[in-house]
Every structure is written in structure tokens, then in C-alpha cells.
Structure 1
Amino acid sequence: MKAGGLVHDGMTNNERQTALWLASVFSLRMLGLFMILPVFALYAEHLRGNTPALAGLAIGVYGFSQALFQIPFGFLSDRYGRKRMIYLGLLIFALGSVVAALADSIWAVILGRALQGGGAVSAAVMALAADLTREEHRIKVMAFIGITIGLSFAVSMIMGPVLNGWIGVPGIFWLTGLFALLGMAVVRFQVPDPTVSRVHRDAEPVASQFGRVLFDGQLLRLNFGIFTLHLLLTATFVAVPLALRDAGLASGKHWEVYLPALLFSMAAMVPFIIVAEKQHRLKPVFLGAILLLALTEFGLLTLHDSVLEISLLMLAFFTGFNLLEATLPSLIAKMAPPDAKGTAMGVYSSSQFLGAFAGGALGGLLHGRVGLQGVFAFATLGALAWLLVAWTMRNPSYLSSYLLNVGALDEGQAWDLAARLTQVPGVAEAVVIAADGVAYLKVDRHALDEAALRAYAATER
């Protein structure tokens, strides 16, 4: 497979390099955030002032600061420049890593993790990617970055236990600080400066669109979904490392559970994604994956005394998690208004990080008061609540986003062009923003007359 189309379809070499280097910045930061997830609960037991509640807070607190700052960072990058805000965010992330590495108390680690999340560069990086790519290729670039983020999560779950055996958790924090500095170097020396920076409605939030997105019932269901998914992730990893340790598996060998579970889960989810997208069975597959998570959490509640049992349940967990992590952004893109996708994704991302915070904080609290069973029972109920909410979701339309550069227009011409674009075979929705010079479309790829559509592009008009 050729990186989601990044090596053909008329992309320039600069666009391909931009996608690869900015994806690497995301990867370095995601590795830094998630490598401690499978190892921190055990490490926290040796920190001064630790309690289970505070250990859970340390795991999840990055999500609170990330949710708080990521959208403002994007807005500030519109005003002060993309690269400046990315440098600032990565520097804050590096500072947080150093604070956590030097910490001898749980509160110092919580401060370091909060600083890590405060370096919230996601929106600014996406906006920079949009500045440096043409509209007709931007969706491929964003998809490639999204795939890279998913792979980084999988790698971090394996690297965390391995590196913990070599350099310990403080060493992992030092390494994540180095990753942040490497990310800054990548942005400085490998990513070109944009000729023009402007707001991109497909890639970043727009303030005027928040009300429209926040009161959309279908998008709210999906935001609740990503909130719950990452709540389940962090709550589960408050407890699973301890369960594996109590079952007799040394922490340095936990990767022996995570590695095969992740590899087999990624293979197992592929047929379901094909069925969901190609056979238009997205909602049934989506509901099935949520049910799988609920059953997995119930299994962990009742069967967490054996390494083999936990290993099989982690295979099921990662299959459901990876499948949902892949399908939720697709559902957002299908259900968001064509000119508000960036805003919808911004709210979605904030919901994701708030879920990580809630899962860590509540999982740690329940572990301290009820034990591991309390964490898994909470996660089971959370998954069942999500299943009920998702059941009421409407079947998605199987449409794709499409951007068309239409050049300078006044408002009247924009309205007229939108009406004409909807007459092109395969175009279901069209919004033309005169100030952007861009048509934001929802299209049926199988029925689309792309030649007729491209006739309206600025370079061909």
C-alpha cells in the first residue's frame, strides 16, 4: 500500500514531504504521551505521596490540559504564526517531560503530565499541513497523519514496557523530552514555511461554527463516543498493569501481552472495516465493536487472575478499540456539515482528551476505594451506556468530503456556484465560501463525475 495515496495522484514532492514530516511530529509527541500508559500504575507505587486516586490523575491529567489548550493554540497560530505556536507547544511539552523525569513525588509527576498536555500543538500542526497542501490533496494528507497517530499509539504500548525494563519510567520521560526537541528540529529544518496562512474550515475550528456543531445531535453522540472510548482506555490501564503483576507477570514482560494483542487486533479489525465501508454496514459494525468492549471489560471484571485470560481479553479490547478509533473519525466526516468539518473535529478531539482525563481520574479513585473490580465494573457500565447512546444514532450517509479551489468570488457568485455544483452527478451537498475561494462538498465517489466537477476549479475556469 502506498501511504494512502501520498505517492501519486499529482501531489508535489513538497506536499509529500510535508505530510511525512508533520506526521513524524505527531508521532514523536504521541509516543511521549502514551509510552507511560502501560507502565505508570506500577511505577507510581514508589512515589512519595502516592495514592491510587493520584496515580490515576497522573495518567489522565494530560487530557484535561490538552482539551483546554488545543483549540486556543489553533486560534493563536492564525494570529502569531503556525511554527511559533508549534515551537512553544513542543517546548512546554519538553518542560513537562523534564519535570516528570525529575519528580520524586506523585504531585510533581501530575504537574509534569499537565504541562505535557498543555503543549497542545495538534490544531496548529493540522493548520500548517493545510497551509502547505492544495485543497484537492488535503484529505489524503490528513488521513495519512491520522493513520500515523494510530500506529504511534500501537508502538507506544509495546515500547513503554520494553523501555521501562531498560531505562525506567524517569528515563522514558527524559526520552519524551528529547522527542519534543526532535519535533522542533523537524519543524524548523524539514517543514517549509507557508507562503500564506489562512483559516481552513476543513482542518481547524472556526469560532462561528461552534454553536452549529455543539447542538448537532448526531455529532454529540459521536463526541460522547470518543469521550467514552478514551475514558475506557485510561481507566483500563489504571488497572491492567496491576492485574498482570498480581497474576505473576513481571512488569518488564508486559510487552509480551501487548505485542501479540496489538498485532492480532490490527489484523482482526481489517475485515470489519471493509464490511463497514464497502458494504455500507458501518452502524452494525460500530455497535458490535462497542458491545465487544463491554464484554471485554466484563471479562476483566470476572477473569483477571490469569495472565492467559488477561492476554486474550486484551486482544479483544484492542480489536474493539482500534476498530472504533478508525471508524469514529470517518463517522464525524460523514455527519459534519461540509464547511464545518474542522470545527467538528476540534470538538471531537477535545472530547477525546477529556475522556482520557475522566478515565484516569475516576479509574484511580475507584481503584483506591473499591479495588480493581471497581475499575472494571465502571468501565463495563461506561461501555453499555455508550452502546445505548450509539443505538439511537442514524445510519450514516456514505459520502466523502471533497474540496475544490474555485478562486476569488463575491457572495452572489458563491451562491450561484454552489447551486450549479449540486447539479454535478455525485455531488450531494455544496457550500462555497467566497472569502476562502473554496467549495466544500459531500460527494458519492462511485457516482461522481469528477471531470465535470473539475471544470469549476479555479485553474480551469
Structure 2
Amino acid sequence: GGGAVSAAITAWVADATREEVRTRAMAMVGSSIGLSFALSLVLGPLLVKYLGLSGLFWVITGLGIVCIGIATLLTPVVDMSTKSMSNASVASVFFSPELMRLNYGMFVLHASLMALFVLMPDLLGRMGIAVGNLWTVYLPVILVAIVAMIPAIIRIETRYKHKEGLIASVLVLLAIALLWAVNLSSFWWTAALLTVFFTAFNVIEALIPSMVSRVTPIEHKGLAMGLYNMAQAIGVAFGGFVGGYVLQYYSEVSLFLLIALLYASWLVVAFSSKFSASKS
């Protein structure tokens, strides 16, 4: 359900924005997701404490109803293409080399995120951060990362350097994975790397859906965004399974080396991209 909502939102944002500001619009969407994640770490335990678990789900239900109202009453209508999709055109979206490259990147990005957060609560716990206080790390890290992302996104978009920005961000993620493999003992080292990680992560989260929308005909954007979100969901499942398996049977260093290997494979794929942002 979340994937379906996400696909519809990203497709709508792509249709409602001009190409020259689309990456910034996607960055705003991604930032709101990151901020909501951070706030949920703070508010979730408080809601359970004062309202109980059932109360938490009633709050979620109420927020869902509010979102339905916003989507129905406040969201402007965007002119949509009335072209129908043939089987051949659907296949062209599924097997588009450029979309497959971008979807692979989204798979790796979220697989690495989930694998990292299989480890992170335990790692921070050994550094003296109790589970109930993890938000004191995550919230400032995400807020700083959102602010740090903004100039990078503006520079990338105004110079039409989407491919170069993506490759640079993946290189940053690769470097972080290797640095973590070298040193896992310092809290401030971990906090600093988390901040840089989420900065690069947020940049990529804004770039990929913008790039997907640019290489997809308007009548196929909904399908393309659905595939993009499916790759993201598969990455989450893969990262959770593999992250837990590696930590159980191998070591933390092995996990970071595996994540680095995934980033290296992504770099190969990204370098082979033929993507070019239009300046028209």
C-alpha cells in the first residue's frame, strides 16, 4: 500500500513540475519523508506510552483520513495524457536499459539502508545510546543532512549534472562503507559518517525519481514510478534479510564490505548510463 501511494505521489509531482525544478520538488518530497521518519522515532514511543498501541493505530488511521481529504480537496488537477498503453509499450518500460539502471540504483540504495539499520541500533547501544534515546542521534543527523543536501541539489539541477551528481553521491556512499569497515568504535565518527551518509542518500533520493520521469513518456510515468517503488521495496526486503544473515554468521566488517561491493556494482552501472538532462 505504501508503495502504491508513493508511486502515485512521485508520478503526480513529475507531472505537476517543470523539468528544471523537478529534482528540487523530489528533494522536498524526500526531505518530508526523512523528517517524518525522524519525528516518528520521537513521537512513536510517546504515543504508545500515553495512548497505548491501539491508540497509535488510531492516530495512524486519523492521519490517513486527513491525507485522503487533502488528496481529494486540496490537490490541484494535472492534465494527464489520454494515450492508451499497448503490451509493447508496457514492455518497453519494463525492459528500458536506462530505467533498469536507475531501478537497480534504487534497489541498492534501500538494500544498503536497511542492512545498515539492522546493525545501527545495536552499534549505538554499545556506545551508550539506549534504544529509547536513538532519536537523539537520528533526528539531528537527518535535519543536518536535509540542510546539507539543498545546495548540492540546486547545483546539480541548475547545471544539468544529474548523472555526475548521482555518480559522485554513490562514490561518497562507497567511501563511507569502507570507512565504517575500518573504524566502528567511535560515537562521533559514527555520527559524522551517518550525517554524510544521509546527505548523499537524500541527494540520490531526489535525483533518481527526477531522472526516471525525464526518460519516461508521460503516458508511462505511473508505471515507471511503480517499478521504481517496487525496486525500492525489494531492496528493503533484501537488505533486511542479508544484513541479518551476515551479522549472525559473519561480522560487522563483512556487512560493510558487502555494502561497499553493492555500491561498487552500482558505480559500474551508473557509469554506463546514457542519461542526459535536457536544457530545453
Deviations 1:348-403 (A, max 9, x none): 1111111111111111121211133332222111111111111111241325xxxx
Cα distance between partner residues in 2 of 1:393 and 1:325? 17
Q: CA deviation at 1:149?
A: 4.9
Cα distance between partner residues in 2 of 1:299 and 1:395? 30
Q: CA deviation at 1:250?
A: 1.9
Give 3-state SS (helix, strand or coil) of 2:278's partner: coil
The answer on 1:321 being equivalent to 2:197 is: no
Q: Please, which of 156, 162, 166 is the counterpart of residue 37 of structure 2?
A: 156
Q: Please, which of 273, 276, 280 is the counterpart of residue 396 of structure 1?
A: 276
Cα distance between partner residues in 1 of 2:267 and 2:52? 40
Q: Please, which of 130, 134, 141 is the counterpart of residue 261 of structure 1?
A: 141
Instruction: Give the structure-1-normalised TM-score.
Output: 0.52
For 1:281, the equivalent position in structure 2 comes to 161
Query: Over aligned residue pairs, what C-alpha RMSD do you find?
Result: 3.4
Distance 1:318 1:124, change over 3 A: closer
For 2:102, the equivalent position in structure 1 comes to 222
Structure with max Cα Rg: 1
Cα distance between partner residues in 2 of 1:334 and 1:126? 12
**Is there any run of 5+ residues in structure 1 with no aligned partner, and where?**
1-64, 71-120, 400-443, 445-461
For 2:63, the equivalent position in structure 1 comes to 182
Deviations 1:211-235 (A, max 9, x none): 0112211111001011111111111
For 1:380, the equivalent position in structure 2 comes to 260
Q: CA deviation at 1:165?
A: 6.8
Cα distance between partner residues in 1 of 2:208 and 2:65? 30
Instruction: Give the structure-2-normalised TM-score.
Output: 0.82
- Aligned partners of 1:161 and 1:251 also within 8 Å: no
Cα distance between partner residues in 2 of 1:392 and 1:189? 41
Distance 1:331 1:148, change over 3 A: closer
Distance 1:270 1:346, change over 3 A: same
Cα distance between partner residues in 1 of 2:228 and 2:71? 29
**Counterpart amino acid of residue 154 in structure 1:** L
Q: CA deviation at 1:343?
A: 1.9
Higher relative contact order (CA 8 A, sep 6+): 2
For 1:353, the equivalent position in structure 2 comes to 233
Matched ranges for 1:66-105 at <5 A: 70=4
Q: CA deviation at 1:200?
A: 4.5
The answer on 1:138 being equivalent to 2:19 is: no
Q: Please, which of 106, 114, 117 is the counterpart of residue 237 of structure 1?
A: 117
Cα distance between partner residues in 2 of 1:126 and 1:258? 25
**Counterpart amino acid of residue 159 in structure 1:** S
For 1:76, the equivalent position in structure 2 comes to none
Deviations 1:129-181 (A, max 9, x none): 79xxxx9x8337x986873453132231243156437747x957852552134
**Counterpart amino acid of residue 130 in structure 2:** A
Higher strand share: 1
**Counterpart amino acid of residue 362 in structure 1:** V
**Counterpart amino acid of residue 232 in structure 2:** Q
Higher helix share: 2
**Counterpart amino acid of residue 175 in structure 1:** L
Cα distance between partner residues in 2 of 1:285 and 1:193? 34
